[in-house]
Structure 1
Amino acid sequence: MGGGAESGGGTSGSGGSGGHLVYAEQFPPASAWAVETNDAHSLTRAGCLETLVEYTTEGELEPMLATEWTQAEDGAWEFTLRDGVTFQDGTPMDAEAVVGALTHVLEVPTPARAFNSDVIAKVEAVDEATVRITTPKPDALVPLRVANANAGILAPKAYEGKQIDIVGTCTGPFTVTDEVPAQSLKLEANEDYWGGDVTLDTAEVRFIVDGAARATQLQSGEVQIAKSLPVANLATMEGDENLEISQLDLARTTVMLLNTSRPPFDDPLVRRAIQTAVDTQAIVDGVYEGASTPAVGPFSANTAWAPEGAAPITQDLDEARALLDQAGVAPEDLSIELMAYNDRPEFGDVAAVIQSELGELGVKVKIRAGEYPALEPDMLSGDYDASLLSRGYLVDVADPGGYLASDWVCDGGYNLAHYCDPETDRAISDATAIEDTDERNAAYRDIAAKLQEEAASVFLVHEKAVWGLQVGVEGFQPHPLDQYVLTADLALG
């Protein structure tokens, strides 16, 4: 596997003449811009943070800060850096800087799932323009790992303080000029951007958690781009001639995690009973109003990783009762606490639907709501029964192997279901080592089928992203991994 030639380089920009654009982001930074956290993805969407390799909207890998990459030998990849790139503070983006940035991510107390010491043994400079990444075992996914925002490259200055400094330390088309914590970022065009002229003069990212507020500001013209718009607002917005509304299938599935480490969900029969009692189509119709599809497993049916002919589980309460009877469990003896974090406003309604459907079976469900950071410790420790989770299966690495190794192996770093099966561990380890993409995808299909058949958890819906634009915004294309928004080509017509 190798990268292509120079892409997107050229004359240095002199700023744009395209005015000012405001983008409404859903979640504010939660970790002081720590690159190993989700904050890195926000900084990528802001047009500041860049990676060695870019994952395009077409699902291809293309050069970014590296122009080519080769597998030097089993367990080692070499990346050739783009010549002449400087950070926004004027320091060179050379091998020493890149090694420092990636090593920082490896050494933090809680490293990223895509790029950590379990999968990366060492990062070193071969020469001024070449970086070598060594892995503990052969890993075909390394180029995808460095395309993740958590492997973004910042200037050495960024890591000198107690928290990451994002002012002047990026390489992207926009540089941060001011931050109002948890509220906004102000940016201006990077006049020396390696990728050429930046069309906009300035931009702003507003962090607006409330979906209705994002919709209102889009409709009023206060913002020109808004993401994750509530389905409840779609009818009004789609009739507004000043707006363009689009839906994009996401590599993201909402799942009802079942804690398999303790009763009752350590019994696959009980898990399958719960799976069979839930009507995923009713959730799609009643909660998402069609802006999602019933899940067929961890991966949506239109991907290369879903088993051929995969279909949603059809609700069958009689079958659910039979499975519980086979497990020796009376439905009325089951009492479950279902956690639903209100960072996702739709989860309250999803939990209510599940509560009602399991109630028809005779199972008692108590809903526990709260912010995700307050609920996550119980999920990580296994001190819970069931929980709703929205999980991107290409977020960690743009290949399902990263998600599978994180969420579904015994010692996975994000194994919130506490699912542990040595056979599955071996299958995932073997799959991620396969270099041939078609063969690797076939192995993923087998694993997906196993997780669905065993009801490792209840996969509910495959999500869609609802984006809104003011008419006149040019050069914007929703990214399947939710990575890039403010780009050099973005313009106001």
Structure 2
Amino acid sequence: MHPSKLLPLGSLAAVSVLLLTGCFASGADSAGGDSNGERRIRLAMMQPPRSGLSPLSDDAFKLSRWSTAETLVTLDKDGDPRPALAAKWQRSDPRTWTFTVREGVTFHDGTALTAEAVARSLTRAATAAPKPRILDGVGLTAAAEGNTVRVTTTDADPLVPQRLSSPQLSILAAKAYQGKTVNPVGAGTGAFVLTKVNGTSSAALDRNEKYWGGRAKAPGIDVRFIPDGTARAAALRSGEADIVESIPVSQAPLLAENQITEVPMPRTNTLYLNTEKGAFKDPAIRAAARVAIDAKALVSGVYENRADVAEGLLGPALPWAKQRQGRTAATAPGKVNGATITIGTFTDRAELPEVAASLQQQLQKAGFKVKLDIREYANIEQDALAGKFDAFILSRATILDSGDPTAYLQSDFGSEGSFNIAQLSDPAVDQALRKASATPAGDARRAAILAAETAVLNSDAALPLLHERVVQGDAAHVVGSVKDPRERELISIATHIS
């Protein structure tokens, strides 16, 4: 533990007092009770809505975590598609998929789920400006045909079902699409009905008594958005919240062990090395940096052992990644000879400046002269993408929205990648990425992805450091909250207060 990270007890007490002023009071009583003796779930979330809870934005993940908005498809632990609002689907040609709409489903406003409703939601997403991230670069049309929806893409795409699992492609009732904005209040199909949104401060949901998937055990959810991590942890410690999203590493030791769960995230902290110019243009110097880095020291010293040492770019949140070969062609380390390098990173993730300081010490011991450039992400991203650093520390989501790592690998390591901070142009990597991209979903695609990972590791363009975990807080009386590495699920029909 780093005592310097913790607030003084007086400050913590002040935070707790602020939280104890009825912040979770709702239509039920302030203790989360209900007239039938059931208790509503009091949920503290990290990020307030950025786009009025529009499903076409990142706010969509809140809607899915509350089980209020649903998609045609969901994903299993391996990232393979499973039925949701679509009962089944088939691919008739490389560009065309047909999805059969589940029968007997109604929206929260009482209207029926139909193929026309599905096509309307998908069309609104596909024609939005900007498009939802999952459709970036993807041309997609949707047309209703009886009780089916025909989805056609401009190019062959083996990941259409996985794409349609993204919460940004949630299916909502017609009432949600009045005007230019998308309003999800009372318009979903899920186990809970979104009834009220109070700007960026709170939201309320009631049980959907007609949910097609069964009756939820909790009568409702009261949500508060609390960006300050110390305040969120205090809400759990004081009994003001039942479930708390994303407890900071520094606050976890202040909670009882039975109140926290560490969930591996598909997010890797990686040191990207500039392969185009500077000291790391030389593969032998990249190899010297690789052997100089002690990732275990980062995990223990910065993350207080609440992270996993990286064995590759893909971490334990993807169980099948254990089948990797790993690096198969390690370059021999060269002599550093006092090479001067500048490492960049950003302050938005509290641990990254500490990671940078630790790496500076480790690399200096290996003979490098190391400068640090640390700014807010908005002020440093452009320079990083332009290759103005010798190295850059990035905390990067590895499966993005489709549950498939191929897009991440292409954007970060393909010679035409839009996020190629390493400035990598490696024929072996490009060939492996093309194969992975063209391979149908399933075991063969996963094997091709791991082969692409090996090609990247062999280049030493990226040195994976650690895989982050998200620390979720649950009061002892919470039953059945979902521990989802993809952060798409949190409260299900089984979640309740005992």
TM over 0.5: yes
Question: Can you list the C-alpha shifts for 1:292-313, whole angstroms capped at 9, x where unaligned?
Answer: 1211221126732356464899
Residues 21-100 of structure 1: matches in 2 within 5 Å? 21-56=41-76, 61-100=81-120
Matches of 2:36 and 2:467, distance apart in 1: 39
Q: Please say if residues 305 and 448 of structure 1, whose CA atoms lie closer than 8 Å, have aligned partners that are also in contact.
A: no
1:141 aligns with 2:159: yes
CA separation in 2, counterparts of 1:335 and 1:411?
Answer: 25
Q: State the distance in 1 between where 2:399 and 2:264 align.
A: 13
Cα gap change, 1:115 to 1:287, in 2 (>3 Å)? same
Residue 352 of structure 2 corresponds to residue 347 of structure 1: yes
* Alpha carbons 1:295, 1:460 under 8 Å: kept: yes
Counterpart of 1:461 (choices 452, 462, 466) is 466
With over 3 angstroms needed to count, the CA separation of the structure-2 counterparts of 1:258 and 1:166, relative to structure 1, is farther
Q: Give the C-alpha shift of residue 224 in structure 1.
A: 0.7
Q: Does 1:444 align with 2:460?
A: no
Distance 2:143 2:66 in 1: 29
Deviations 1:6-65 (A, max 9, x none): xxxxxxxxx986321112222223344343432211221122221111124575532211
In structure 2, do the counterparts of structure 1 residues 423 and 449 end up closer, same or farther at CA, with 3 Å as the change threshold?
Answer: closer
1:233 is aligned to 2:251: yes
Structure 1: tracts of 5 or more residues without a match: 1-14, 325-329
1:258 deviates by 3.7
Equivalent AA in structure 1 for residue 50 of structure 2: A
Partner of 2:223: 205
**Distance across 2 between alignment mates of 1:205 and 1:271:** 47
Q: How big is the shift at 1:80?
A: 0.7
Q: 1:112 to 1:100 in 2, by over 3 A?
A: same
Counterpart residue identity of residue 187, structure 1: L
Contact 1:258 1:271 in 2 (8 A): yes
- The answer for the alignment partner of 1:115 in structure 2 is 135
CA distance in 2, matches of 1:189, 1:124: 31
Give the direction of change, closer, same or farther, for the CA distance of 1:202–1:437 in structure 2 (3 Å limit): closer
Q: 1:218 deviation in Å?
A: 0.8
Aligned to 1:367: 373
Q: CA-atom RMSD, angstroms?
A: 3.0
Q: Which residue of 1 aligns with 2:304?
A: 289
Assess, with a 3 A threshold, how the Cα gap between structure 1 residues 125 and 260 changes in structure 2: closer, same or farther. Answer: same
Number of aligned residues: 462
Alpha-carbon offset, residue 250 of structure 1: 2.2
Q: How do residues 5-404 of structure 1 correspond to structure 2 at under 5 angstroms?
A: 18-56=38-76, 61-116=81-136, 118-119=137-138, 121-239=139-257, 243-260=258-275, 262-300=277-315, 303-305=319-321, 308=324, 310=326, 322-324=334-336, 330-332=337-339, 334-342=340-348, 344-360=349-365, 361-370=367-376, 372-380=377-385, 382=387, 384-404=389-409
Residues 114 and 402, structure 1, Cα contact 8 Å, conserved in 2: no
Pairwise CA distance, 1:435: 2.5
Alignment match of 1:410 (pick from 400, 406, 415): 415
Out of 476, 490, 493, which is 2:495 matched to? 490
Structure 2 CA distance, aligned partners of 1:276 and 1:16? 62
- Between the aligned residues of both structures, percent identity stands at 33
Contact 1:49–1:171 at 8 Å: present in 2 too?
yes
TM-score for the superposition, normalised by structure 2: 0.83
Deviation, 1:462, is 1.3
- Structure 2 residue ranges without an equivalent (≥5): 1-34
After superposition, give the CA deviation of every residue in 1:365-415 in whole Å (9 maximum; x if it has no partner).
223132x34444444555555433222222321122232233332334444
Q: Is the 8 A contact 2:356 2:372 kept in 1?
A: no
- The normalised TM-score by structure 1 is 0.84
Distance, in Å, in 2 between the alignment partners of 1:307 and 1:283 is 25
For 1:202 and 1:92, locate their aligned partners in 2 and report how far apart those are by CA, in whole Å: 23
Q: Deviations over 1:149-202 (max 9, x none)?
A: 222222333343343312122222222222233332222222332222222222
Question: Partners in 2 of 1:312 and 1:40 — Cα distance?
Answer: 40
1:3 corresponds to which residue? none
Deviation at 1:113, TM superposition (A): 4.2
Separation of aligned partners in 2, 1:283 and 1:151: 38
Deviations, residues 285-334 of structure 1 (Å, cap 9, x unaligned): 101111112112211267323564648999x9xx76x254xxxxx535x2
**Cα distance in 2 between the residues matched to 1:270 and 1:107:** 47
- The CA deviation string for residues 208-237 of structure 1, in whole angstroms up to 9 with x for no partner, is 222222211111111111232223333332
Alpha-carbon distance in structure 2 between the residues aligned to 1:312 and 1:471: 46
